[in-house]
Amino acid sequence: MTDTFPRIAVRRTYKLYVGGAFPRSESGRSYPVTSSAGDHLANAALASRKDVRDAVVAARKAFLGWSGRTAYNRGQILYRVAEMMEGRRSQFAEEVGAAEGVGKARAQALVSAAVDRWVYYAGWADKFGQLLGGANPVSGPYFNLSEPEPTGVVGILAPTGSSLLGLVSVLAPVLTSGNTAVLVASEDAPLPAITLAEALATSDLPAGAANILTGRLSELAAPLAGHADVNALDLAGAGGLAAELEALAATTLKRVRRPGGDDWDDTDPGLSRIKPFLEIKTVWHPIGR
């Protein structure tokens, strides 16, 4: 007769999400992540400035493809992300609960809101263009049309204090218009971001459209803000670094969304986070015979 042993659980390794793959940091480093109560949860990858550069390269490579998808297709893929999250509800709720120190019911509510936010922005993909563009009545024989286009590669510093809902609330609006993103997850609560990456990876989102890094804000934010191939910055989670990062961004005249003014519980933020990462292109053509 053999002894019966309790099964040893298979723990997850939390890695980065770059170019559709899940690499460890090129630096080989990791850092311990604790719950809001101080209990050890896992080791997360401690990304380096080289990881930032790799992520920007992946995001740039993905830009033409993702921005070239039809708006309808982008909408479907964002909706697919909601579907993928729905299937992992309990995992997200557990991580959010541990990270934010909220009870089960609140954690569940936060996950629900995050899922719904993807659905919300999925619906925006093929609508903002008509609201923000259109024909211009110029005084001459010209067809003249203005259309919004995605700005390009957007660097996002995810908000602190809202590890999943805040994260989704900054990432989804950037993706819905066709931008690609390099996102630095909340330093203290990065685990929901990596679980989100696993949902993204199975949602038909093209590799590199969203890239997620975990690590020290103080180490990753400056190389991202100063990178010449990043077109825009969302400083939602920049905290005290915001002014310094905005000044760095000025070197290549990045569009900057300054921190503040956000209510993650708002279920209808409208275009407030879509518009800052758009360009207006105006095309002229003569009319004649």
Partner 1 sequence: MEIFEYAPAPESRAIVSIRPSYDLFIDGEFVESKSDERLVTVNPADEEPLAEVAVADDADVDRAFAAARRAFEQVWSRLPGAERGKYLFRIARVIQERARELAVLESLDNGKPIKETRDVDLPLAAAHFFYYAGWADKLAHAGLGTRPLGVAAQVIPWNFPLLMLAWKVAPALATGNTVVLKPAETTPLTALAFAEICQEAGLPPGVVNIVTGAGATGRAVVAHPGADKVAFTGSTEVGREIARAVAGTDKRVTLELGGKGANIVYDDAAIDQAVEGIVTGIFFNQGHVCCAGSRLLVQESIADELLARLRARIERLRLGDPLDKNTDIGAVNSAAQLARIRELAAAGQAEGATGWSPACPLPERGYWFPPTVFTGVTQAHRIAREEIFGPVLSVLTFRTPEEAVAKANNTPYGLSAGVWTEKGSLMLWTASRLRAGVVWSNTFNVFDPASPFGGYKESGYGREGGRHGLEAYLD
In 3D space, the residue among 65, 173, 60, 133 whose CA is nearest the CA of residue 281 turns out to be 133
| Residue 286 makes contact with partner 1 by CB under 8 A | yes
Per-residue contact flags (x/-) with partner 1 for residues 93 to 112, judged by CB under 8 A: --------------------
Q: Among residues 12, 21, 138, 204, which is the contact residue for partner 1, using CB under 8 A? A: 138
Q: Among residues 136, 218, 267, 272, which is the contact residue for partner 1, using CB under 8 A? A: 136
* Binding residues for partner 1 restricted to 146-165, rule: CB under 8 A: 146, 151-152
Cβ 229 vs Cβ 153: under 8 Å: yes
Q: Site size for partner 1, by CB under 8 A?
A: 32
Cβ proximity to partner 1, 3 vs 268, nearer residue: 268
Distance CA 279, CA 255 (A): 10
Cβ 212 vs Cβ 193: under 8 Å: yes
CB of 129 to partner 1, least distance (A): 12
Distance in angstroms between the alpha carbons of the first and the last residue of the chain: 95
CB of 56 to partner 1, least distance (A): 15
* Binding residues for partner 1 restricted to 215-234, rule: CB under 8 A: 228, 231
Distance CA 154, CA 116 (A): 23
| Residue 279 makes contact with partner 1 by CB under 8 A | yes
Q: Among residues 131, 161, 202, 267, which is the contact residue for partner 1, using CB under 8 A? A: 131
Cα four-point dihedral sign 103, 197, 245, 219 = positive
- Give the angle subtended at the CA of 24 by the CAs of 21 and 27, to the nearest 5°: 135
CB of 156 to partner 1, least distance (A): 18
Cβ proximity to partner 1, 30 vs 231, nearer residue: 231
| Residue 72 makes contact with partner 1 by CB under 8 A | no
Distances 89 to 62, 178, 190, 193, 211 between C-alpha atoms, Å: 28, 27, 17, 14, 22
| Residue 179 makes contact with partner 1 by CB under 8 A | no
Q: How many CA atoms lie within 13 A of 107 on its CB side?
A: 17
Candidates 40-48, 53-61, 137-145, 216-224: pick the segment binding partner 1 (CB under 8 A).
Answer: 137-145
Distance CA 282, CA 149 (A): 10
Distance CA 155, CA 35 (A): 26
Distance CA 243, CA 209 (A): 27
**Residue 60: partners with Cβ closer than 8 Å, 6 or more residues away:** 152, 153, 180, 229
Structural element, H or E, at residue 49: helix 49-68
| Residue 282 makes contact with partner 1 by CB under 8 A | yes
| Residue 65 makes contact with partner 1 by CB under 8 A | no
Cβ proximity to partner 1, 202 vs 272, nearer residue: 272
Q: Among residues 204, 244, 265, 266, which is the contact residue for partner 1, using CB under 8 A? A: 244
Q: Among residues 37, 137, 261, 289, which is the contact residue for partner 1, using CB under 8 A? A: 137
Candidates 3-11, 86-94, 190-198, 241-249: pick the segment binding partner 1 (CB under 8 A).
Answer: 241-249
Residues that bind partner 1 (CB under 8 A): 131, 136-140, 142, 144, 146, 151-152, 228, 231, 242-244, 246-247, 249-253, 255, 279-286
